[in-house]
C-alpha cells in the first residue's frame, strides 16, 4: 500500500477557489492517473493543482468532531460502462482512490480524476441515527469570475456572468433566500468558476440515493464561503450511510463540456434487467403553442400528424388530458397515435409541489398502490412514457419519491421525464429509463414573462458549460414562430439548439404550421436527428458568448454553434477530428427574408460567421 501522511488539526472542511499564487504547496498527497491534477498539504490546508496551477484549496473537512485526514491510497479505479442516453455511449471511469478516517465512525473517500476530483463520506456503526450536519464548504473569493444560478425548487434560473456574490435575487417564487444584507445566499448546482484564466472548475453533486437529500450551496454566514448543506432529511439510519459525491470538474472548457464525471461516480444500472425497450427520440409537443391543447382531441391529432410527416417517433400529450373535451378520452387519443405508429407520452402531476390551481391529473402517483395501478394502465393502453411535473425541492422525501417513480415506471416499460424538479445527479446511469429532466430556464418561458426575449441568446450560450454538463436537459428547443412573447434568436440558432442541448427525449417546441412551412431539408433534419450520442467534442466557445459543439452518432457528426451576443461573431473552428467527410449539409442564417441558407459544401469550414443571436448546423457523413 502506498501511504502519504500529513497531520493537521482542522475540524471541518472549506474548499477555497482562487487565483494561483507564488506560494508553493509543501507536501504531495494524491494524484490523478495522468499526474496533471494533484492534491497537496499546504500550510495546514489542502490544495488542488491543475498543471501546477493552484485552483482549489481544501481548508477543513466533513463533520463536527472529526480529525484531519491521513490519506491512504486504496486502488486505481478502472471502469468501462455504456449509456443508453447521454453525451457518450461508451464512458471510462478512471481515477486514483484514497481514503482517510475522520473519526472511528466517519471515513472520507476521495477520487482524483484526470479532469477533477470527487469525494464523499461514509458514516458507519449507526444505530437508528439521524444524519449529522455536513460541514463541507467552498470558498469563492470576490473577484473570481463565476456563472452561478440562484437556487429555486425547479432550478429554472439564469447563470449570469459575475465576479461577485452580491447579486439581488431575481426570482419571486419557490423559496428564494436572502442573506442579512439582502443579497441572494442560496445557490444551485452546477456552479462554474474560472479561478485561473482559461482554467475552470464546475461544482456539482452525484449519486443521490433514496435515503439522501440533495444539497445546494449557502453563503449566508460569509459572502465568500459557500457551505454544502443537504436539504431536509428526517430519516434515521442503522448500519452505514454514504453521502452523495461532492464533485469538482477541473480543466479547460473542453474538459468541462465533455466530462462524464457525474455518471462516472454514480451507481450502475442493474444490467440484468432488460432496458432494450428504452428508445430515445424526438417528440412533437403541444404545450408551447397550445397551453391547454392536450384536452382537445383535434389538437392532439394535429401533433400526431406532425410527427408522422416529420418522421418523429413520439408525441407528448401534456397536462389536462383527464379533462378531454367533446366526449373524447385519453384512450382514444393514445389509440390515434398508435394507429399512426407514433409512440404516445402522457403528463402527470407529482402532487407534492404546486397543487392548488395546478392542472391535472393529480394524486394518481403518490401512493405505491395507486402508482402501480396507474402505470399498469399506461402500459396496457400503449403509453410509452410519462412526464411528471411540479416537485417540491431537494429534500429526502422528494429524492425517494423520484426514485420510486423511476423504479415503478421501469417495471411497466415506461420512460420518465421529470419537470419542475431538481437537476440530474447521475440517475440517468442508475435508471436508464430516465430520459430527461427539465431543471432549466427553457423555451417554455416564452409563455410566461417577457424576460426571456432579450436574455435567451446569452443564456443559451451558457447552458452547454453549466446545466447541460451534468445531465440531460429538457429545454424544449427550436421554435421558428413566436409564443406569447417573441424570440429574437435566428432560425439557425433555434435549429442548432436541438444538437447543442443533450436530452434523451428532445421535445420540439414549435407549432405544426410553422414546422411544416420550413424547407424540406429542415423537415428531414428532425426526422434524422439522434437524441442519444456516441461521442462529443467541444470545438470552440466561451460561456455566454458563443458555443460550438460536435456530437457523433455512428458515422455522422453533427456540429452546432450559436452566437450568444447581439453583434456579429466570427469563430475559428478546428474540425480536423472529423476524417473522410463524404457529404456535408450546412444550415446557415440567410441575409435575406428567406431565413435559411442551406448548402452542401465540398469541405469543412475553418471559420464560421454568425449573425447577431445566430447559429449554424453542419451534418457530416
Answer yes or no: is pLDDT of 211 > 60: yes
Exposure class string for 23-34: b at 16+ Cβ within 10 A, else e = eebeeebbbbee
From 2.40.110.10, 2.70.98.10, 3.40.50.2020, 1.10.1040.10, which CATH number describes the 14-264 domain?
2.70.98.10
CB 283 within 8 A of CB 223: no
Alpha-carbon dihedral sign for residues 498, 499, 501, 504: positive
Q: CA-CA distances (angstroms) from residue 471 to 93, 257, 301, 419, 474?
A: 16, 11, 32, 14, 10
CB 108 within 8 A of CB 36: no
Answer yes or no: is pLDDT of 476 > 90: yes
Answer yes or no: is pLDDT of 130 > 70: yes
What residues contact 296, with CB distance under 8 A and at least 6 apart?
290, 324, 325, 326
| 509-518 average pLDDT score | 97
| 145-153 average pLDDT score | 95
Confidence (pLDDT) at 42: 76
Specify the 3-state DSSP secondary structure of 295. helix
Residue ranges of the chain assigned to CATH 2.70.98.10? 14-264
**C-beta atoms surrounding 425 within 10 Å:** 29
Answer yes or no: is pLDDT of 86 > 80: yes
Alpha-carbon dihedral sign for residues 342, 343, 349, 353: negative
Answer yes or no: is pLDDT of 165 > 80: yes
Answer yes or no: is pLDDT of 65 > 50: yes
Residue carrying the nine cell digits 446511469: 429
Question: For residue range 377-406, what is the model confidence (pLDDT) as tens digits?
Answer: 999 999 999 999 999 999 999 999 999 999
Rounded to whole angstroms, the Cα distance separating 565 from 210 reads 42
Confidence (pLDDT) at 14: 44
Confidence (pLDDT) at 617: 98
Phi, psi of 124 (to 5 degrees): -135, 175
The band of 56, judged by pLDDT with boundaries at 50, 70 and 90, is confident
CB 424 within 8 A of CB 472: yes
Nearest to 86 by CA among 501, 407, 461, 410: 501
Q: How far is CA 204 from the centre of its chain?
A: 10
Region of poorest pLDDT, from 19-23, 445-449, 585-589: 19-23
Confidence (pLDDT) at 370: 98
Give me the CATH topology for the region 546-620: Immunoglobulin-like (2.60.40)
What residues contact 594, with CB distance under 8 A and at least 6 apart?
none
Region of poorest pLDDT, from 39-43, 359-363, 449-453, 514-518: 39-43
Residue ranges of the chain assigned to CATH 2.60.40.1180? 546-620
Cell numbers for 206? 452525484
Confidence (pLDDT) at 59: 74
Q: How far apart are the first and last CA of the chain?
A: 49
Rounded to whole angstroms, the Cα distance separating 292 from 558 reads 34
Confidence (pLDDT) at 175: 61
Nearest to 411 by CA among 364, 379, 370, 363: 379
Helices 452-460 and 491-500 pack at an angle, to 10 degrees, of 50
Confidence (pLDDT) at 23: 52
Rounded to whole angstroms, the Cα distance separating 203 from 188 reads 10
Entry pTM? 0.95
DSSP code for 321: G
Confidence (pLDDT) at 12: 37
Answer yes or no: is pLDDT of 1 > 60: no
CB 562 within 8 A of CB 610: yes
**C-beta atoms surrounding 116 within 10 Å:** 27
What residues contact 439, with CB distance under 8 A and at least 6 apart?
154, 155, 156, 418, 421, 422, 423, 424, 467, 473
Alpha-carbon dihedral sign for residues 481, 483, 489, 493: negative
Q: How far is CA 477 from the centre of its chain?
A: 15
User: What architecture is domain 281-532?
Assistant: Alpha-Beta Barrel (3.20)
Confidence (pLDDT) at 283: 98
Confidence (pLDDT) at 29: 86
CB 583 within 8 A of CB 600: yes
CB 278 within 8 A of CB 308: no
Kindly give the pairing relationship between strand 236-242 and strand 434-437. unpaired
Q: How far is CA 250 from the centre of its chain?
A: 17
Rounded to whole angstroms, the Cα distance separating 258 from 535 reads 9
Confidence (pLDDT) at 9: 29
Region of poorest pLDDT, from 1-15, 224-238, 526-540: 1-15
Partner residues linked to 251 by β-bridges: 200
Q: What is the mean pLDDT of the chain?
A: 93
Question: For residue range 393-439, what is the model confidence (pLDDT) as tens digits?
Answer: 999 999 999 999 999 999 999 999 999 999 999 999 999 999 999 99
Confidence (pLDDT) at 331: 98
Residue ranges of the chain assigned to CATH 3.20.20.70? 281-532
Answer yes or no: is pLDDT of 285 > 80: yes
CB 208 within 8 A of CB 395: no
- The percent of residues above 70 in pLDDT, for the chain, comes to 95
Cell numbers for 34? 495522468
Confidence (pLDDT) at 173: 53
Answer yes or no: is pLDDT of 160 > 70: yes
Amino acid at each position: 500500500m502506498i501511504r502519504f501522511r500529513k497531520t493537521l488539526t482542522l475540524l471541518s472542511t472549506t474548499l477555497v477557489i482562487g487565483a494561483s499564487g507564488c506560494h508553493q504547496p509543501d507536501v504531495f498527497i494524491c494524484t490523478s492517473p495522468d499526474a496533471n491534477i494533484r492534491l497537496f498539504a499546504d500550510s495546514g490546508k489542502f490544495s488542488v493543482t491543475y498543471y501546477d496551477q493552484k485552483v482549489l484549496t481544501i481548508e477543513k473537512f466533513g463533520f463536527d468532531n472529526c480529525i484531519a485526514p491521513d490519506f491512504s491510497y486504496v486502488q486505481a479505479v478502472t471502469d468501462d460502462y455504456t449509456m443508453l442516453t447521454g453525451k457518450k455511449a461508451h464512458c471510462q471511469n478512471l481515477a486514483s482512490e484514497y481514503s482517510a478516517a475522520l473519526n472511528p465512525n466517519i471515513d472520507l473517500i476521495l477520487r482524483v480524476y484526470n479532469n477533477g476530483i470527487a469525494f464523499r463520506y461514509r458514516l458507519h456503526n449507526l444505530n437508528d441515527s439521524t444524519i449529522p450536519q455536513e460541514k463541507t464548504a467552498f470558498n469563492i473569493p470576490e473577484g473570481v469570475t463565476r456563472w452561478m444560478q440562484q437556487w429555486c425548487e425547479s432550478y429554472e434560473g439564469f447563470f449570469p456572468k459575475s465576479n461577485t456574490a452580491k447579486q439581488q435575487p431575481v426570482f419571486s417564487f419557490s423559496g428564494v433566500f436572502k442573506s442579512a444584507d439582502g443579497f441572494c445566499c442560496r445557490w444551485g448546482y452546477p456552479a462554474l468558476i474560472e479561478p485561473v484564466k482559461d482554467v475552470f472548475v464546475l461544482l456539482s453533486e452525484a449519486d443521490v440515493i433514496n435515503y439522501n437529500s440533495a444539497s445546494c450551496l449557502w453563503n449566508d454566514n460569509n459572502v465568500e464561503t459557500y457551505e454544502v448543506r443537504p436539504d431536509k432529511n428526517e430519516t434515521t439510519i442503522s448500519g452505514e450511510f454514504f453521502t452523495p459525491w461532492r464533485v469538482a470538474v477541473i480543466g479547460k472548457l473542453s474538459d468541462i463540456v465533455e466530462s462524464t464525471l457525474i455518471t462516472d461516480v454514480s451507481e450502475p444500472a442493474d444490467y440484468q434487467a432488460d432496458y432494450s425497450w428504452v428508445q430515445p427520440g424526438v417528440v412533437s409537443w403541444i404545450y408551447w403553442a397550445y397551453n391547454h391543447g392536450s384536452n382537445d382531441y383535434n389538437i392532439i391529432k394535429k401533433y400526431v400528424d406532425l410527427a408522422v410527416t416529420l418522421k418523429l417517433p413520439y408525441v407528448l400529450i401534456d397536462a389536462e388530458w383527464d379533462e378531454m373535451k367533446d366526449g373524447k378520452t385519453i384512450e382514444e387519443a393514445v389509440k390515434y397515435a398508435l394507429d399512426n405508429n407514433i409512440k404516445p407520452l402522457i403528463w402527470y402531476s407529482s402532487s407534492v409541489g404546486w397543487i392548488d390551481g395546478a392542472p391535472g391529473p393529480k394524486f394518481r402517483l403518490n401512493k405505491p398502490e395507486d402508482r402501480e395501478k396507474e402505470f399498469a394502465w399506461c402500459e396496457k393502453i400503449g403509453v410509452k412514457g410519462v412526464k411528471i411535473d411540479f416537485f417540491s425541492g431537494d429534500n429526502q422525501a422528494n429524492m425517494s419519491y423520484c426514485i420510486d417513480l423511476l423504479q415503478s415506471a421501469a417495471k411497466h416499460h415506461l420512460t420518465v421525464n421529470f419537470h419542475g424538479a431538481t437537476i440530474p445527479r447521475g440517475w440517468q446511469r442508475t435508471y436508464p429509463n430516465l430520459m430527461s429532466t427539465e431543471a432549466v430556464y427553457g423555451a417554455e418561458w416564452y409563455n410566461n414573462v417577457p424576460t426571456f426575449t432579450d436574455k435567451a441568446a446569452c443564456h443559451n450560450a451558457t447552458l452547454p458549460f453549466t446545466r447541460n454538463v451534468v445531465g440531460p436537459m429538457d429545454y424544449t428547443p427550436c421554435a421558428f414562430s413566436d409564443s406569447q412573447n417573441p424570440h429574437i434568436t435566428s432560425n439557425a440558432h433555434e435549429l442548432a439548439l436541438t444538437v447543442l442541448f443533450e436530452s434523451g427525449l428532445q421535445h420540439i417546441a414549435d407549432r405544426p404550421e410553422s414546422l411544416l412551412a420550413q424547407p424540406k431539408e429542415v423537415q428531414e433534419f428532425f426526422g434524422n436527428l439522434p437524441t442519444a450520442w456516441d461521442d462529443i467534442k467541444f470545438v470552440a466557445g466561451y460561456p455566454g458568448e458563443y458555443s460550438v459543439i460536435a456530437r457523433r452518432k455512428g458515422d455522422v457528426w453533427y456540429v452546432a454553434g450559436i452566437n450568444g451576443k447581439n453583434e456579429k461573431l466570427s469563430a475559428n473552428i478546428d474540425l480536423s477530428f472529423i476524417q473522410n467527410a463524404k457529404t456535408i449539409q450546412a444550415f446557415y442564417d440567410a441575409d435575406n427574408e428567406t431565413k435559411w441558407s442551406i448548402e452542401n459544401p465540398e469541405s469543412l469550414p475553418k471559420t464560421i460567421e454568425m449573425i447577431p443571436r445566430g447559429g449554424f448546423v453542419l451534418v457530416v457523413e
